[in-house]
């Protein structure tokens, strides 16, 4: 009864013969280009220790909030899926039972990107030729779990097999980057670099903010209670991150608001952040001021700045209390860029040394705000569709809404932004296919020449990311 | 000179041969499924009394604000269309003249859903083969008016002819549901059920709110001036509505805001609502608190909750003063769900017994807010495109924006939400065609197998609505 | 190495044979219709003096902020492009070097409307058959510059060659309209009319507002410090503009907010505007009140009212300080119409003598707010996609989002709104092609008959604009 699992060579291309043939030709030239993954959340320990993943569920379900949020939305408990409780109560869920639960609900993923990514991994990494269902759940589980024990399925081997030229992880300022150091000292040639994500030390509402800042002081020897010392501490850590390959910083704020206060105001905000008396509005001001400060530091040290605003984090208070962050309960909210970015851009918006890559979870800003901003300011570029919008339809909306005003060269190609390692080749493949599809449509409508489309296909798949992230 | 009226069998399918053929195959399997209409505004008296409609205009124009708003927008007075004045001044408009006016302006509807629905009714219900125009207006009028006098065009006969398995109407808490009772006692087999729409008794800004609540107290014997008694009164009426088949409640608030106040605060709001001193903000708080209360009651009595927020009602003050509510002057406004629903979801968002169906008039929330919310919270599901978006393009936007993040199984199929009885088969037909079109595209792009598309086509046309509304 | 420049006859039509053939047939009937350009920003002096343009750069680059903003966004200085500084420092940039810079970066425009418009002008006006690039930059420059010196490339000759039936420019109330007078007195038959754009005299935040109002008083002999005199002054100038052909007014406010204050409140706002003490909120109130006043004046004098809200002007403070207005740094912002327009519509929304054309830079309002408003209020109509959205994708979004609710007849055809004279035929051509494409799709999906599509194609290309603007 099992249905065949086939990755059709024309998947994601439009049905019309002319466009499909052209998309195919464009794609053939970029399909095998190396993967440049300039921003994501894979665990550097995988590549440092190269320990095998334990089993199919531990690899594909438990760490992937795209997967378990969907199961949760249909009434399956997070405990049943082995998600660890915050209080340390061990998950008693048996990994095989987790897998069966997942397999018997696999139809929930119809029409979603997770289905495309999982099927891609099932077929290309593990060689399955039958679609996952309740009946073959155990066979899937055993095949994957057995494979993971083999050398060719260890993290470094898969990294090489996936043809990853470079991958960036994301670490907090207080991270010692010991995994990155170990990778570098190991002699392995895989290029794994870090990125500077200061949220835990610049967001007064982040769990443990004050302890984080104190630790930042300890690490750097700076007096982080003084504004100047606090900024210096960041500068020192940024420099250290650069020694571990960092070419970028990353900022995940609730909004895109920025500020340009004077030093006295900044010291006052820092005081209130550190004595715990800071209000919600002041916390927003503190974060926004730090975006401007980080932009200034980038002028000096050349790190490319990424801004990922607009997620309402931990929307489900109960799930947050029981299971903690990143459990599929972050919800996008309306995001303004025009007024929000004005203070920062007023300070550094015309300085060609700086490069700021903007992302959004609010697609209404593509044509209305982001493309006009990036189509004017020398410092701005636009990141690819992100998170919920890293999808077939999301990418098509991105291209249709952004390119006419921003052009192709104010965009930065693709990044996968994922913690699900096996989804990386699939995500880049979807991007390459949709980029080629979009280019093919432009050519078919005589808005672009085919030779130009070929150049752009390579840029979108590979060149723009490398250049934008200074890799 | 009359143009032929033809309902092409391939209408609303895309032109490419492959996709069209597949859409056709999918549609063939769902075209004749019974209609499940779980939410709408048809008049139960039609089915209780089974009285013939008086004439073509009284059936198709005067009660349909989709139709007369368009004529009004082009300078035709509501009086000329027979819309009754609020002060009781009788409409002097002759129904035949109304019809002629409509017919001679029929080109205004080009490209609109109304045109699709009207043509569908003209062709399938009355057998017309010429398109309506100024020349054949009288022939149309006579044919329809004559037909309506016949037994087979009475409400119950049409109900059966339309193959309606179940239809829900919508009534206020103070409604005695005498029409529903009459239907049940009549022995007629048509399943017409009610739904609990408490707006007139939970919205302090609703016309007659205080009298409505007093009446609620009289009906239930509860002291509705005390918060506890007021809530009890709702519980009693909900139970009564259940005896008349209700499986759902419906809430048409200006926003989606919810609150979770304590009993003292609630009593204070009720006091101010009932002594008329309530402010705009407090009225919003009252409504929002009642959404949370209604969700709690649903935990107990199992009624599915529908939230229809975001209409700025009676935008045209002059039209409202002269003609009253529902005159085509309700305008959608920007609607937030993320912050608005947090209080309610904080109370009951993880309780699997509860089911809340969200609708929107703000399509920007599909991908940004609603799909991520429904793709996480066990209690949430997404209603189909609503009102202005119940259209060919609106449905396509819905599918393209919702499914990738929410999946198919967090949606609830279709409901027509109409007071225009003859548009019901047409609306469901449009939905079925567009659903099949969307599924066919997924298959053609190898994002779904054809066998899966067949299952989903049936779910979208029939199964999901039945299950989601607990019918 | 140069690539051929070919304007494919099927450009912008979709690839499927059936739809393409039909789009072609529809387009064939409208391709050569005269251009009605009821709103734009061309310089009347061109047509008054009929002086040749100086060179290729002065014609195509320096005045076109669509072009130089893109170059600026990629790190090319505005000085290098010959944009004059505000302080009068002459641009030292050599026009030929400007052209070379532009040509060697022409790939930046891939996928943008500017590329379509420029290629259209290169091919149809100057006869180029090679695509512009770094190698042929000089040949392009010389060919264009030489041509411009010839009589047949002078403004009036091009006006006639472009088959422009009428074009409207836009002038401030204090403009003497001497160019328009000169055109009229010249005996030349080209119809160039003005439009009343009172922003400099109704926006207290406009540079020089007080001086502008004083000048308005001088010109009209009214006491503009009294509310009544101030309004009278506008009336007098509107009448004068009508003698120079004006059929419309135009209002470019930051928002769409309107107000309906009493005379005392109005006088107080005027006092504060004129003594310079006005706050930001009061300035908004003043502008919004003036929209209502202008609507009332339109009831008397019949001028059609255009509202173009939603641009955050001069977002880049540095560019504004150095180079002034209209330098590609205006960014669209979220715009509300529902609450914003309620006061004005409450006053005059049902008066059939009045016609107000709404534009937007916020596409989310198309389906949500604008189409429902225009589909109800007799005074409202919807302008075509504007500015950043005057594009292939923008037009398709406009049609897909607006027509189902507003119908075709609550729209007004096309206007180019441009100061780039050579882009006018190209912009109208894009509109005509996309309109035919949209109509062809409706026919192919059996939502419209081909005969209806033919009528609508002519309306959209020509008739609706003429009628809506009372030309």
Q: What is the pLDDT of residues C32-67, one digit of tens each?
A: 999 999 999 999 999 999 999 999 999 999 999 999
Q: How far apart are CA C311 and CA C446, in angstroms?
A: 39
Measured between CA atoms, how close is A289 to chain B, in angstroms? 25
DSSP C363-393: TTHIIIIIHHHHTT-TTEEEPPP-GGG-SHH
pLDDT of residue B91: 74
Q: Which residue has the tokens 């090489």?
A: A160
Going from the C-alpha of B97 to that of each of B1, B107, B136, the distances in angstroms are 22, 17, 13
pLDDT of C1 reads 64
Across A180-195, average pLDDT: 98
Q: Which chain C residue has its CA at the smallest distance from B119's CA?
A: C447
Nearest CA in chain B to A328: B376
pLDDT score, position B1: 63
CA pair distance C45, C182, nearest whole angstrom: 9
Given a cut of 90, whether residue A16 has pLDDT beyond it is: no
Q: Rounded to a whole number, what is the distance in Å from the CA of B252 to chain A's nearest CA? A: 22
B115 contacts in C (CB within 8 Å)? 447
Q: Tell me the CB-side half-sphere exposure of residue C18, using CA atoms within 13 A.
A: 13
Domain extent listing, chain A: 17-52+162-468, 53-153
- For A328, which of B368, B376, B409 is closest by C-beta distance? B376
Question: How far apart are the two ends of chain A, measured CA to CA in Å?
Answer: 49
C-beta separation of B190 from B164 below 8 A: yes
Euclidean distance between CA atoms C15 and A444, whole angstroms: 6
- How many other C-beta atoms can be found within 10 angstroms of the C-beta atom of residue A436? 28
Q: Tokens representing B230?
A: 């007021």
Interfacial C residues in 24-83 facing B (CB < 8 Å): none
Q: Does A364 touch chain C (CB under 8 A)?
A: yes
Question: In chain A, what residues touch C13 (CB-CB under 8 Å)?
Answer: 445
Measured between CB atoms, does C90 come within 8 Å of chain A?
no
User: Is pLDDT of A90 > 90?
Assistant: no
Instruction: Establish if C336 touches chain B: CB-CB under 8 angstroms.
Output: yes
Residues 6+ apart with CB under 8 A from B352: A75, B378, B379
User: How far is A403 from A316, CA to CA, in rounded Å?
Assistant: 36
Q: What is the pLDDT of residues A255-285, one digit of tens each?
A: 999 999 999 999 999 999 999 999 999 999 9
- Cα separation, C342 vs A437, in Å, equals 44
Burial of C198 (0-12, 13-18, 19+ CB in 10 A): buried
- Predicted-complex ipTM score: 0.97
* Alpha-carbon gap, residue A42 to B233, rounded angstroms: 55
> What CATH number belongs to A17-52+162-468?
3.20.20.140
Mean pLDDT for chain B? 97
Residues B443 and B448: their CA atoms lie apart, in Å, by: 5
Q: How far from the centroid of its chain's Cα atoms is residue B306's Cα?
A: 11
Q: For chain C, give the percent of residues with pLDDT over 90.
A: 97
Both tokens of B409, joined, read: 């199984």
Nearest beta carbon to residue C116 from set A338, A447, A451: A447
CB contacts < 8 Å between A and B, how many? 129
C366 contacts in A (CB within 8 Å)?
none
Q: How far is B209 from chain C (nearest CA, A)?
A: 24
What is the chain C residue with the closest CA to A381? C73
| CB pair distance less than 8 Å for C449 and B3 | yes
- pLDDT at position C208 is 96
Nearest Cβ partner for B377 among A8, A13, A316: A316
CA angle C159, C163, C166 (to 5 degrees): 75
Residues in CB range of C21: below 8 A, 6 or more apart: none
Beta strands A311-312 and A331-332 are antiparallel
Q: Do A446 and C10 touch (CB under 8 A)?
A: yes
Interior/surface letters C403-439, b for 16+ CB within 10 angstroms, e for the rest? bbbbbbbbbbbbbbbbbbbbbbbbbbbbbbbbbbbbb
- CB < 8 Å & 24+ apart, contacts of B389-393: B389/B361, B389/B363, B389/C367, B390/B113, B390/B416, B390/B417, B390/B427, B391/B112, B391/B113, B391/B430, B391/C404, B391/C405, B392/B12, B392/B113, B392/B116, B392/B430, B392/B434, B392/C404, B392/C445, B392/C447, B393/C400, B393/C401, B393/C404
Given this model, what pLDDT does residue C348 score? 98
Q: pLDDT tens, B293-342? A: 999 999 999 999 999 999 999 999 999 999 999 999 999 999 999 999 99
Kindly determine whether residue B405 and residue A388, on different chains, have CB atoms separated by under 8 Å: yes
C-chain CB neighbours of B392 within 8 Å are 404, 445, 447
- pLDDT on residue C84: 92
Q: If you average pLDDT over residues A132-146, what whole number do you get? A: 98
Q: What's the topology of domain B17-51+162-468?
A: TIM Barrel (3.20.20)
User: From the list B377, B406, B447, which residue is nearest A392 (CB)?
Assistant: B447
Chains interfacing with A (3 or more CB pairs < 8 Å)? B, C
**Torsion angle of C-alpha atoms B378, B312, B385, B170, degrees rounded to 10:** 80
Best residue of C344, C358, C445 to probe chain B, by most B CBs closer than 10 Å: C445
Chain B touched by A111 (CB under 8 Å) = yes
d(CA B270, CA B327): 30
pLDDT at A315 over 70: yes
Instruction: Kindly identify which residue of chain C lies nearest to residue B360, measuring between CA atoms.
Output: C368
What is the model's pLDDT at position C68? Answer: 96
Q: Class assignment of domain B52-153?
A: mainly alpha
Strand partners, B331: B312
Rounded-to-integer distance, Cα C329 and Cα A364, Å: 19
Answer whether B16 sits within 8 Å of A15, measured CB to CB: yes
DSSP alpha helices (H): ranges in C104-249?
113-124, 137-148, 155-161, 178-186, 199-202, 209-220, 227-243
Q: Which two tokens stand for residue C389?
A: 């959205």
Which own/partner pairs from B291-294 qualify as long-range (CB within 8 Å, at least 24 positions apart)? B291/B251, B291/B253, B291/B258, B291/B344, B292/B258, B292/B259, B292/B260, B292/B343, B292/B344, B292/B347, B292/B348, B293/B231, B293/B234, B294/B198, B294/B202, B294/B234, B294/B249, B294/B251
Preferred mutation among A3, A15, A83, A386 to probe B, highest tally of B CBs within 10 A: A15
CA–CA dist C15, C10 (Å, integer) = 9
A432 to chain B, closest Cα gap in Å: 15
Question: Which parts of chain C register pLDDT below 70?
Answer: 1
Please give the angle made by the CA atoms of C295, C300 and C304, to the nearest 5 degrees. Answer: 50
The residues with which C196 forms a beta bridge, in sequence order, are C171, C249
C312 touches chain A (CB under 8 A): yes
pLDDT, position A251: 98
pLDDT tens for each residue of C156-171: 999 999 999 999 999 9
Beta-bridged to residue A171, according to DSSP, are A196
Q: Which residues pair with B193 in a beta bridge?
A: B168
Nearest to C367 among B3, B112, B363 (CB): B363
Give the pLDDT confidence of C445-455 residue by residue, as tens digits. Answer: 999 999 999 99
Please check whether residue C401 touches B, CB under 8 A. Answer: yes
Beta strands in A315-367 (DSSP E): 331-332, 356-358
Q: Are B463 and B30 in contact (CB under 8 A)?
A: no
Q: How many residues does chain B have?
A: 471
C-alpha to C-alpha distance for C432 and C440, rounded to whole angstroms: 12
**Nearest CA among A178, A304, A191 for reference residue A251:** A304
Using one digit for the tens of pLDDT, what is the confidence trace for C180-221?
Answer: 999 999 999 999 999 999 999 999 999 999 999 999 999 999
CA dist list (Å): A129 to A10, A124, A422: 17, 10, 18
| Rounded Cα–Cα distance for residues A397 and A402 (Å) | 8
pLDDT of the residue at B82: 93
What 3-state DSSP class applies to B312? strand
Q: Do B376 and A12 touch (CB under 8 A)?
A: no
B and C: number of Cβ contacts within 8 A: 130
pLDDT for position A1: 63
What is the Cα C442 distance to its own chain's centre?
Answer: 28
Beta carbons of B206 and B212 less than 8 angstroms apart: yes
pLDDT tops 80 at residue A92: no
CA distance C356 to C378: 9
On whether the CB atoms of residues C394 and B97 are closer than 8 A, the answer is no
What CA–CA distance (Å, rounded) separates A43 from A179?
A: 9
By C-alpha distance, the chain C residue nearest A353 is C75
Q: Which CB contacts under 8 angstroms, 24+ apart, belong to B215-218?
A: B215/B174, B216/B173, B216/B174
Q: A407 and C14 in contact by Cβ < 8 A?
A: no
| Homologous superfamily in CATH for domain C53-153 | uronate isomerase, domain 2, chain A (1.10.2020.10)
Question: What do you get for the CA distance between the two ends of chain C, in Å?
Answer: 49
Per-position pLDDT tens, chain B of length 471 = 689 999 999 999 999 889 999 999 999 999 999 999 999 999 999 999 999 999 999 999 999 999 999 999 999 999 999 999 998 887 778 999 999 999 999 999 999 999 999 999 999 999 999 999 999 999 999 999 999 999 999 999 999 999 999 999 999 999 999 999 999 999 999 999 999 999 999 999 999 999 999 999 999 999 999 999 999 999 999 999 999 999 999 999 999 999 999 999 999 999 999 999 999 999 999 999 999 999 999 999 999 999 999 999 999 999 999 999 999 999 999 999 999 999 999 999 999 999 999 999 999 999 999 999 999 999 999 999 999 999 999 999 999 999 999 999 999 999 999 999 999 999 999 999 999 999 999 999 999 999 999 999 999 999 999 999 999
* Residue C167 bridge partners (DSSP): C37, C192
Distance from CA of A311 to the nearest CA of B (A): 10
Distance CA A126, CA A117 (A): 13
Percent of chain A with pLDDT over 90: 97
Yes or no, beta carbons of A312 and B339 under 8 Å apart: yes
Determine the pLDDT at residue C277.
96
């Amino acid at each position: 009864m099992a249905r065949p699992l086939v990755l059709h060579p024309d998947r994601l291309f439009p049905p019309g013969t002319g466009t499909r043939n052209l998309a195919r030709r464009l794609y053939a030239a970029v399909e095998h280009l190396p993967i440049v993954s300039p921003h994501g959340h894979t665990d550097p320990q995988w590549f440092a220790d190269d320990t095998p993943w334990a089993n199919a569920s531990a690899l594909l379900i438990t760490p992937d909030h795209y997967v378990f949020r969907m199961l949760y939305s249909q009434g399956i408990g997070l405990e049943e899926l082995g998600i660890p409780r915050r209080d340390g109560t061990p998950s008693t869920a048996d990994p095989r039972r987790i897998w069966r639960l997942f397999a018997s609900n696999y139809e929930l993923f119809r029409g979603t990107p997770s289905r495309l990514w999982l099927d891609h991994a099932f077929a290309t990494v593990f060689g399955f030729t039958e679609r996952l269902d309740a009946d073959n759940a155990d066979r899937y589980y055993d095949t994957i779990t057995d494979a993971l024990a083999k050398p060719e399925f260890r993290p470094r081997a898969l990294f090489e097999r996936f043809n990853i030229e470079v991958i960036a992880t994301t670490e907090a300022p207080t991270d010692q980057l010991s995994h990155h150091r170990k990778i570098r000292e190991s002699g392995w040639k895989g290029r794994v670099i870090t990125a500077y994500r200061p949220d835990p030390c610049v967001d007064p509402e982040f769990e443990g903010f004050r302890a984080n800042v104190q630790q930042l002081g300890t690490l750097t020897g700076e007096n982080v209670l003084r504004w100047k010392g606090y900024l210096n501490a960041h500068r020192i850590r940024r420099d250290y991150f650069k020694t571990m390959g960092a070419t970028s910083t990353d900022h995940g704020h609730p909004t895109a608001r920025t500020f340009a206060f004077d030093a006295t105001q900044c010291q006052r905000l820092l005081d209130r952040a550190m004595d715990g008396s800071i209000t919600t509005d002041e916390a927003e001001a503190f974060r926004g001021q730090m975006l401007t400060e980080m932009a200034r530091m980038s002028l000096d040290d050349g790190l490319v700045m990424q801004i990922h605003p607009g997620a309402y984090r931990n929307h489900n208070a109960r799930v947050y209390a029981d299971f903690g962050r990143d459990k599929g309960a972050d919800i996008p909210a309306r995001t303004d860029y025009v007024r929000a970015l004005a203070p920062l851009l007023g300070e550094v918006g015309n300085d060609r040394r700086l490069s700021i890559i903007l992302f959004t979870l609010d697609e209404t800003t593509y044509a209305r705000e982001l493309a006009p901003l990036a189509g004017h300011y020398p410092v701005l570029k636009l990141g690819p569709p992100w998170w919920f919008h890293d999808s077939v339809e999301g990418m098509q909306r991105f291209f249709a809404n952004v390119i006419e005003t921003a052009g192709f060269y104010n965009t930065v190609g693709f990044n996968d932004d994922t913690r699900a390692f096996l989804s990386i080749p699939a995500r880049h493949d979807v991007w390459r296919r949709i980029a080629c599809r979009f280019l093919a449509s432009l050519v078919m409508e005589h808005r672009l020449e085919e030779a130009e489309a070929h150049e752009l296909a390579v840029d979108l798949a590979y060149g723009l990311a490398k250049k934008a992230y200074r890799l």
